[in-house]
A and B are shown apart, each in its own frame.
Chain A
Amino acid sequence: MNGSLHRELGLTDEEAVSIERILGRGPNHLELAMYAVMWSEHCSYKSSRVHLRRLPTEGPGVLVGPGENAGVIDAGDGIAVAIRIESHNHPSAIEPYQGAATGVGGIIRDIFTMGARPIALMDPLRFGPPTDARNRWVASGVVSGISGYGNAVGVPTVGGELEFGSCYAGNPLVNVLCCGLLPKDRLVLGRAGGVGNLAVLLGSTTGRDGIGGVSVLASAAFTDDPDAEASKRPNVQVGDPFEEKRLIEATLELLDKHLVVGIQDLGGAGLTCATSETASRGGVGMDVDVEAVPLREPGLAPYEVMTSESQERMLAIITPEALSSVLDVCQRWEVRASVVGKVTATGRLRVLKGWDGEVLADVPAASLHEDAPVCYRPMRPPARLLDGDGMATNGGVPTPPPPTSEADVAHDLLSLLADPSWAFGQYDHQLFRNTVVAPGADAALLRLSAPGVRAPSGSPARGIALSTDGNPRWCAVDPRAGTRLIVAESALNVACTGATPVALVNCLNFGNPEHAEVMWQFSEAIDGMAEACTGLGIPVVGGNVSFYNESRGTDIDPTPVVGTLGLVDRLRPGTPTPALTDRSTVLLLGPSSVSLAGSRWVAECPGSQAGGALAELDLELHSRLLELLAALVNERLVDGVHDVSDGGLGVALAEMAVKSGTGFRVSGITGLAELFGEGPSRVLISVPPANVQLITDRAGAAGVPTAALGTAGGDRLIVEGLLDLSLAEAEAAWKGALPTVFSAP
């Protein structure tokens, strides 16, 4: 065996030694390929596992925590919610449309694998500045890919984020969250049980899609013929939403009819992962016949069959008696089904060439997961945070922003407004008659209902709220405090719809983990997330780590993204949204402390700059605010509500104005730091004057500060002493920002 082959496959020398120890002999090419994909960063979480253990994962409603295909939460009424988020950053950088489309397809499979009907997608997206043509091409392609796949597969996209930043120019972030509903008793886990049971491959044929690093084997094992080599190159994965739609319906029907013992989707590492995971979780072994796998093109080598990432495939574990019924269901939905594996008692994953043929690979199934290496990668804070003795310090000293005229303030505010419906308007966000609050508000609010998953008749309509949140600017200043703020903001966003946050998933987008500073950022972010989740009582039920987000040697800013699930006990019409009502009083709930460090104004408006620390998060105050706000919303004491987030009070007020076509006049905001500064636990509410006293009293009793800022109405945006802008101009800037920049050639 070629001594450097394992290195070309991405395995270290130590890993190669471990494999030999596990097998008691040297691995063959196929076995080496299987270990290489399973022990890759993507599949094994080898750099992150030691850190992820610090996250709180338990809570009263958690039915399934991290480690399965999706987290599952008990929502009451016999209904459970499955939720997961994943990244598809690197494929989207190469082929934006298909990268995003296959990302959507993959996350949906994770949800219906659990027995849940997928009912909602959210897409937090980050791109390089749209002033550059290539960034526009990537962003447009990703949005079209989500629209093209998500709409056709029949899962509504109910929200997400759309952000631009220069660190994403060569490395966009395409994160995708999916949420589904299931009757609690239909919950299935991805495991094989019962010796003699069959593994049935459902869905698409297998081709050379996504065979990345292991394609080295082609050149290691074969010829110098350039044409032959070219044909072995991995293909861009192409999504087929119609195949996936039929796969969803067939899978849910199989589960409804209790025809499967376990089921697993095929994602990263393809058949190797699905067969070894189901076997090792079930404490059994599996024989796989590579010749039984339907191929898209002739001539695939066994390592290609076993590591292909062809889309729209599932592996169902069934009893032999169920086979004919399973084939009937699949035939009705025009879904291909082939028996490719048999459950054995050996604990080994064997790859065979024909059931009675040659044994091509023979490894302990569990070793592909459980024996994967754990890396304790070195960590180091950035130099700016080290004092002379190498000790961490608290960052720099704030630079006061330059004095600015009223015209400059208006100009800056207008440049920070952008209506994201350029993207959301291309997504079906209404399917299933569930969408109570549509994309563009602080959080999406949906009915807790899906075809085949309804609450008992007569019970009140209940709801789920979803919000995804990230903020690389905060995390660049301080990954730990920044991540705390992100968790807090996400919880506050769901509370804006009246929901109580009950669970969180994370998608951790970071740079190269071999850079000590990146690992430090990662570790800090985990600690910040653990602190905030513990403080707010929100368990982490799943997550995804995406490392190596870098371009031209520069790591992206740390970008942990969280998705928060909230529950509303009783939905009523008229949920308040970010809007002002004529003659209502505008109140700020929450503390006044803000910081310009890591603020959007500082990042995007030339001439302003600030270092320093982020505003402090008081977790106890934040918990009280979440409860108070949800109550005020559910009792309909407020007409409009909006979380004060990036862009500070200035942007939050302006957004409420343009979304409702109602101006405002506020006072008491004395300077730019107060107008554009950002801080946690702050919400704007638009309140009928008759309710002001009651709300102030309730807030006082809850220990939440309030400030009356002014009154809504009129056709101007007025902050006394700082800003006087026409509503029409603000509306035009907000509505036109993205369509204008994206209409450039």
Chain B
Amino acid sequence: MALVAVRVGVVVFPGTNCEHDVAEALVELGAEAQLVWHGSASLDALDAVVLPGGFAHGDYLRPGAIARFSPVMAGVREYAAGGGPVVGICNGFQVLTEAHLLPGALQKNKGLTFLCRMTELEVTSDRSALTAGVELGRRLLVPVNHFEGNYTAGPATLRRLEDEGRVVLRYVDNPNGSVHDIAGICNEGGNVVGLMPHPERASHELLGSTDGLVLLRALLAWAGARLEPAGRG
């Protein structure tokens, strides 16, 4: 085990509401978590960044449409460009697509209602910061909680995602109409990941599933591995 705890920044926009849940779950895994206010542009000294779920800026206009212009997003862009791991969960995924750090978009669910329920996911790529080291084909029980989780992208983008192994998680029983049953994707480098399901909600034995820990542990391992050669300065 690394002697230094991995330091994760959890970004808070006005309207974000899952920041404490994500931070708490990461702390229970031995990480340090700190909340990063959306007005701060610097993400130095962080080993990983999570954009948690919620309703940034009330989801007014479109989920993520206003948040992408927050000062923190310039920092996130730079941090990701330097290879730093960035995970967007639910609303965070929506923000990452609006910011064009991930391709595609998230539309209203096919059934036109908000959905809060457990879903079964299949791990379909291990080249992302959230799934590295996780056995391909592994099934995970992780809940979703969204109105706009119906992933869509043009045919060329979809082909690239599939060909490059960037579809990270798929729904076993598609709840929202996402194209190709996509629940999560990553960028070319694998360090930027977006997913609609909430791993932090499946992270304690009292909550009905601990499968989300598989993903969060993978993230901490990925972030820890980047530290190890030199340690943190």
Of B55-63, B164-172, B188-196, which binds chain A?
B55-63
Q: Which of B96-152 contact A (CB under 8 A)?
A: 113-117, 143, 145, 147
Of A35-43, A186-194, A420-428, A499-507, which binds chain B?
A420-428
Of B81-89, B202-210, B214-222, which binds chain A?
B202-210
Known: A433-B201, A433-B204. A428 touches B116 (CB 8 A): yes
Q: Could you tell me the distance in whole angstroms from the C-beta of A229 to the nearest C-beta in chain B?
A: 33
A154–B55 touching, CB < 8 Å: yes
Q: Which single member of B55, B113, B198 contacts A245 (CB below 8 Å)?
A: B55
B58–A425 touching, CB < 8 Å: no
Q: Flag whether B14 is at the interface (Cβ < 8 A).
A: yes
State in angstroms the CA–CA spacing of A55 and B147 once bound together. 43
B14–A433 touching, CB < 8 Å: no
A432–B116 touching, CB < 8 Å: no
Q: Flag whether A357 is at the interface (Cβ < 8 A).
A: no
Q: Which single member of A242, A432, A436 contacts B55 (CB below 8 Å)?
A: A242
Q: Could you tell me the distance in whole angstroms from the C-beta of B118 to the nearest C-beta in chain A?
A: 9
B21–A432 touching, CB < 8 Å: yes
A245–B14 touching, CB < 8 Å: yes
Size range of the chain B interface in the assembly: 20 to 34
Q: Could you tell me the distance in whole angstroms from the C-beta of B20 to the nearest C-beta in chain A?
A: 4
A430–B58 touching, CB < 8 Å: no
Q: Could you tell me the distance in whole angstroms from the C-beta of B149 to the nearest C-beta in chain A?
A: 13
Q: Which of B178-198 contact A (CB under 8 A)?
A: 198
What are 5 A-B residue pairs whose CB atoms fall within 8 Å in the complex?
A151-B55, A152-B58, A154-B54, A430-B116, A436-B207
B201–A152 touching, CB < 8 Å: no
Known: A241-B58, A433-B203, A433-B204. A426 touches B115 (CB 8 A): yes
State in angstroms the CA–CA spacing of A435 and B205 once bound together. 11
State in angstroms the CA–CA spacing of A571 and B143 once bound together. 21
**Contact residues in B for A151 (Cβ distance below 8 Å):** 55, 114, 116, 145, 147
Q: Which single residue of chain B is at the shortest CB-CB distance from A449?
A: B24
Q: Could you tell me the distance in whole angstroms from the C-beta of B32 to the nearest C-beta in chain A?
A: 16
**Contact residues in B for A571 (Cβ distance below 8 Å):** 206
Q: Flag whether B17 is at the interface (Cβ < 8 A).
A: yes
**Contact residues in A for B203 (Cβ distance below 8 Å):** 433
Q: Flag whether B18 is at the interface (Cβ < 8 A).
A: yes
A152–B59 touching, CB < 8 Å: yes
A152–B15 touching, CB < 8 Å: yes
**Contact residues in B for A348 (Cβ distance below 8 Å):** none
Q: Flag whether B33 is at the interface (Cβ < 8 A).
A: no
**Contact residues in B for A573 (Cβ distance below 8 Å):** 205-206
A242–B201 touching, CB < 8 Å: no
Q: Which of A420-465 contact B (CB under 8 A)?
A: 421, 424-433, 435-436, 438, 447, 451, 461
**Contact residues in B for A425 (Cβ distance below 8 Å):** 113, 115-117
Q: Residues of A with Cβ closer than 8 Å to B?
A: 144, 147-148, 151-152, 154, 240-242, 245-246, 333-334, 421, 424-433, 435-436, 438, 447, 451, 461, 571, 573
A427–B58 touching, CB < 8 Å: no
Q: Which single residue of chain B is at the shortest CB-CB distance from A248?
A: B17
State in angstroms the CA–CA spacing of A501 and B66 once bound together. 45
**Contact residues in B for A334 (Cβ distance below 8 Å):** 14
Q: Which single member of B15, B60, B145, B205 contacts A428 (CB below 8 Å)?
A: B145
**Contact residues in A for B145 (Cβ distance below 8 Å):** 151, 428, 430-431
Q: Which single residue of chain B is at the shortest CB-CB distance from A424?
A: B116
A152–B14 touching, CB < 8 Å: no
Q: Which of B1-43 contact A (CB under 8 A)?
A: 14-15, 17-18, 20-21, 24-25
A242–B206 touching, CB < 8 Å: no
A245–B115 touching, CB < 8 Å: no
Q: Which single residue of chain B is at the shortest CB-CB distance from A427?
A: B116
Q: Could you tell me the distance in whole angstroms from the C-beta of B36 to the nearest C-beta in chain A?
A: 14
Q: Which single residue of chain B is at the shortest CB-CB distance from A572?
A: B206
Q: Which single member of B15, B113, B201 contacts A430 (CB below 8 Å)?
A: B201
B20–A451 touching, CB < 8 Å: yes
Q: A151-B116, A433-B203, A438-B208 are in contact. List 12 more A-B contacts (CB 8 A).
A: A151-B147, A152-B58, A152-B59, A241-B55, A334-B14, A426-B116, A427-B114, A429-B116, A433-B201, A435-B207, A451-B20, A571-B206
Q: Which single residue of chain B is at the shortest CB-CB distance from A148?
A: B114
**Contact residues in A for B207 (Cβ distance below 8 Å):** 430, 433, 435-436
B206–A152 touching, CB < 8 Å: no
**Contact residues in A for B60 (Cβ distance below 8 Å):** 242
